[in-house]
A and B are shown apart, each in its own frame.
Chain A
Amino acid sequence: MTTTAGPTPGTTTVFDLGVTGVRALNAELHAPTSRHYEVLRPQGAHAVAAGIDTDIAVDVRGHVGYYAAGMNDGGRVTVHGNAGTGVAENMMSGLVRVTGDASQSAGATAHGGLLVVEGSASMRCGISMKGVDIVVGGDIGPMSAFMAQAGRLVVCGDAGASLGDSIYEARVYVRGGVASLGADCVEKEVRPEHRAELAELLAAAGIDADPAGFRRYGSARRLYHFTSGNSY
Chain B
Amino acid sequence: MTDPSLREQHRFDSLRESATFDRPTIAAIQRAAATGVYDIRGWGAKRALPHFDDLLFLGASMSRYPLEGYRERCGTDVVLGDRNAAHPLHLDIPVTIAGMSFGALSAQAKEALGRGASEVGTSTTTGDGGMTPEERGQSTHLVYQYLPSRYGMNPTDLRKADAIEIVLGQGAKPGGGGMLLGQKISDRVADMRTLPAGIDQRSACRHPDWTGPDDLAIKILELREITDWAKPVYVKIGASRTYYDVKLAVAAGADVVVVDGMQGGTAATQDVFIEHVGIPTLAALPEAVQALQELGVHRKVQLIVSGGIRTGADVAKAMALGADAVAIGTAALIALGDNDPRHDDAYRRIGSAAGFYDDFQDGRDPAGITTQDPELAARLDPVEGGRRLANYLRVLTLEAQTIARACGKAHLRHLEPEDLVAVTIEAAAMARVPLAGTSWIPGRER
Chain A interface residues toward B at CB < 8 A: 22-23, 26-27, 30, 46-47, 50-51, 53, 65-67, 70-73, 85-86, 89-90, 92, 104-105, 108-109, 111, 124, 127-128, 130-131, 146-147, 149-150, 166, 168-169, 224-228
Contact = CB atoms under 8 A, between A and B. Distances in A.
B194 A149 contact: yes
Given A105-B210, A149-B194, 19 more contacts: A22-B225, A46-B218, A47-B226, A51-B225, A66-B210, A67-B218, A67-B219, A70-B222, A85-B218, A86-B210, A86-B222, A108-B208, A109-B150, A127-B209, A128-B149, A128-B208, A168-B195, A169-B196, A226-B179
B226 A51 contact: yes
A46 B221 contact: yes
Interface in B251-279: none
Contact of B210 (A22, A85, A131): A85
Given A67-B209, A85-B210, A86-B209, A92 B155 contact: yes
B19 interface: no
7 closest A-B pairs (Cβ-Cβ)? A228-B36, A51-B226, A86-B209, A105-B209, A109-B150, A224-B199, A67-B222
18 contacts: A23-B229, A26-B225, A46-B222, A47-B221, A53-B156, A65-B218, A66-B222, A67-B209, A70-B226, A71-B154, A86-B210, A86-B222, A108-B150, A108-B209, A130-B194, A166-B202, A168-B195, A226-B40
Contact of B158 (A30, A71, A109, A228): A71
B384 interface: no
B204 interface: yes
Nearest to A109: B150
Interface string B325-362: 00000000000000000000000000000000000000
A149 B226 CA distance: 24
A27 B228 contact: yes
B194 A92 contact: no
A53 B199 CA distance: 33
A47 B155 contact: no
A73 B196 contact: no
A66 B37 CA distance: 41
A92 B159 CA distance: 14
B218 to A, nearest CB: 5
A75 B193 CA distance: 24
A34 to B, nearest CB: 18
B153 interface: yes
Contacts of B155: 51, 53, 71-73, 90, 92
Contacts of A73: 154-156
B204 A128 contact: yes
A128 B210 CA distance: 13
Contact of B222 (A50, A130, A226): A50
A222 B199 CA distance: 11
B182 interface: yes
Given A127-B208, A225-B199, A226-B200, A66 B227 contact: no
B418 interface: no
Contacts of B204: 128, 147
B31 to A, nearest CB: 12
A131 to B, nearest CB: 6
A105 B209 CA distance: 5
B215 interface: yes
B438 interface: no
Q: Which of A53, A71, A85, A225 has the most CB of B within 10 A?
A: A71
B221 A124 contact: no
Given A23-B225, A50-B225, A111 B36 contact: no
Interface string B214-237: 010011011001111100000000
A54 B196 CA distance: 30
Contacts of B37: 226-228
Q: Which of B35, B225, B229 has the most CB of A within 10 A?
A: B225
Contacts of A226: 37, 40, 179, 181, 200
A105 B156 contact: no
Contact of A225 (B200, B208, B210, B226): B200
A130 B150 contact: yes
A224 B196 CA distance: 9
Interface string B131-152: 0000000000000000001100
Q: Which of A26, A128, A168 has the most CB of B within 10 A?
A: A128
